[in-house]
Amino acid sequence: MIAWTRRRLVAAAFVLLAVPAAAQLVGFATSPLAIETADGRRHAFTVELALSNAQQMQGLMYRRSLAPDRGMLFVYEEDAPLAMWMKNTYVPLDMLFLKADGRIINIIENVPPQTLDSRPSDGPARAALELAAGTAARLGIRPGDRVVHERLAGK
């Protein structure tokens, strides 16, 4: 009887650990964002905003797809070195790290899903933008280009 009870407790704990996200997912507001490239092109996106700690911890976890014109913008209170990972993220992403004025510091392209490898900014950043993998190359987006959004000073 004791062994059976322990097995049930272990099984219940496993279920709770495997499925907590479904019961605890947070929501995100959306807003328009544009990326202006050095050659004068402007690319429009709709992004979800990761502003709170809970939203930033969840990010794009558990998503099975991300449309080419969608993304997630993580905005922080202060400039600091940032690092992102792909825990429980099922779609590959491009990660763009931004200065407070929206200038792109660096881009890490085609980050594979479900890794715990840290992907860092090249210096202090105010925000990070995650887009579907291949977006930066497809649209010719490069460091030095500018992200225009109401949450960034360079709007």
pLDDT, one tens digit for every residue, the chain (155 residues): 334 333 433 333 433 344 444 548 999 999 999 999 999 999 999 999 999 999 999 999 999 999 999 999 999 999 999 999 999 999 999 999 999 999 999 999 999 999 999 999 999 999 999 999 999 999 999 999 999 999 998 55
Taking the C-alpha atoms of residue 77 and residue 46, their distance in angstroms, rounded to an integer, is: 22
Distance in angstroms (rounded) separating the CA atoms of residues 25 and 48: 14
Strands 104-111 and 42-50, bridge-based pairing = unpaired
The sign one gets for the Cα dihedral 80, 140, 95, 36 is: positive
pTM of the model: 0.84
Secondary-structure class of domain 25-148 per CATH: mainly beta
Nearest to 83 by CA among 116, 46, 110: 116
Residue boundaries of the structural domains of the chain: 25-148
What pLDDT does residue 3 have? 40
pLDDT given at position 24: 82
Residues near 18 by beta carbon (within 8 Å), at least 6 away in sequence: none
Helix (H, G, I), strand (E, B) or coil at 65: coil
Strand-pairing partners, residue 111, are 93
